[in-house]
Amino acid sequence: MDDSAARRGVIRNCLGVGVAVGAYGAAFGAASVAAGLSVLQTSLLSLLAFTGGTQFAVVGVLAGGGTMLAALSSGLLLGSRNALYAMRLAPLLRVRGARRLLAALGTIDESTAMAVGQRTDELSRTAFWWTFGAVFSFWNLATLAGAAGASTLGDPKNIGLDAVIPAAFLALLAPRLRAGRIERRVGAAGATIAFVLVPLTPPGIPVLAASAALLLATSLRRRTA
Amino acid sequence: MSLWGLVIATIVGCYLLKLAGYLVPARVLEHKQMRQAVEMLPVALLAALVVVEAVANGRHWAFDGPRLAGFAVAAVAVWRRLPFLVIVVVAAATAALLRQV
């Protein structure tokens, strides 16, 4: 395959990812408005925080009656993986100055996955920027549509939104669970911790406390090592 | 903290986390424990969020029939690796229809 054909193939995949992932945006927009944020606040989160799992977590904890601090902490813990992605991308993208500031905004699950999967650094850069552009466009358009739609539809339970939110988290979780046994054990431990703590702690805390499931992964590694 | 405070803190925090990764020396990545912890963290948090969003209402367990039915149908869609749009639509449609009857 020559270089331009490879490049066109990569761009086509990036656009596909953008459309598929962008659809999450509508669910986020609706969930965010249902949690009490305005359409403007909802859109600013999608434009500038631009990291789906974190955005869902913040409005999810808030909707469940959690404090602002619990919502923020869950969101930032989930967002911490983007720092790791950035460390992986830095040597591939080799960006400086204003382009680095822009690349930072676009550092998310999808752009990282598409970039690290390429044969050459050149194709990695193409994949990163096109995925970023495609996901950013569709995610923000869909957020606005979902937020505006939800604010005119009234009670979110009438359109089944309360079932959409756990389904969306499950869809984000599933590929990680398929990755390996340690992932599945950490997931099961996190779910158990959260379930047990629901009646015992203020809302938001069960999610934060689930990070203790990581200790399980560490102890498992020691035993198998 | 007001809602605006939460929105701004989330935006600033998320952006700084992303930017930080471009500024730290690459050798931090060589700490295996560190890398695995950051990779596993989303698994634990997302699993907890699934549970809390499915069966909690504030400080109580809440097993709402239509919500759980919508979630269960969506879980089958996730298992069958159907597209995200399908997952969302079947979850919403199942819960909404059951509430009509």
CB interface of A with B, residues 83-122, below 8 Å: 83-91, 95, 100-101, 103-105, 107
Q: Is residue A113 part of a domain?
A: yes
Mean pLDDT of B14-43: 83
Asked if residue A218 has pLDDT above 90, the reply is: no
CA atoms within 13 A on the CB side of B45: 29
Q: What is the pLDDT of residues A31-62, one digit of tens each?
A: 999 999 999 999 999 999 999 889 999 999 99
Same domain? A139 vs A55: yes
Q: What is the domain partition of chain B in residue ranges? A: 1-30
In the prediction, which pLDDT does A224 show?
A: 54
Q: Let me know whether A131 and A52 are in one domain.
A: yes
Under an 8 A CB cutoff, do B52 and A194 touch? yes
Residues A136 and A193 in one domain: no
Q: Cβ contact (<8 Å) for A41 and B67?
A: no
A165 located within any domain: no
- Residues A90, A46 share a domain: yes
| Residues 6+ away with beta carbon under 8 Å from A168 | A24, A27, A28, A31, A56, B84, B87, B88
Do A125 and A198 sit in the same domain of this protein?
A: no
In a domain, A174, yes or no: no
Q: Are residues A93 and A194 in the same domain?
A: no
Pairwise CB contact (< 8 Å): B52 & A82: no
Q: Is the pLDDT of residue A148 over 70?
A: yes
Q: Is A119 helix (H, G, I), strand (E, B) or coil?
A: coil
Residue in chain B nearest A42 by alpha carbon: B7
Smallest Cα distance from A200 to chain B, Å: 7
Q: Are residues A106 and A212 in the same domain?
A: no
In a domain, A166, yes or no: no
One domain, residues A149 and A98: yes
Here the ipTM equals 0.88
More confident residue, A219 or A148: A148
- pLDDT tens digit string along A75-101? 999 898 899 889 889 989 999 999 999
Q: Which residue segment(s) compose the domain that A203 sits in?
A: 179-225
CA A49 to chain centre: 10
Do A58 and A100 lie in one domain? The reply is yes
DSSP symbols for B58-85:
TTEE---HHHHHHHHHHHHHHHTT--HH
Residue A116 lies in a domain: yes
Most confident of A7-16, A45-54, B21-30: A45-54
Q: In Å, how far is B101's CA from the nearest CA of chain A? A: 12
On whether both A127 and A215 belong to a single domain, the answer is no
> Is there a contact between B87 and A168 if contact means CB atoms under 8 Å apart?
yes
Q: Which of A205, A137, A213 is nearest to A182 (CA)?
A: A213
Q: Report whether pLDDT(A102) > 90.
A: yes
Of A95, A162, A203, the CB nearest to B59: A203
At residue B40's C-alpha, the angle toward residues B42 and A127, to 5°, is: 70
Quick check: is A20 in a domain? yes
Mean pLDDT of A168-197: 92
Q: Which of A14-23, A163-172, B27-36, B48-57 has the highest mean pLDDT?
A: B48-57
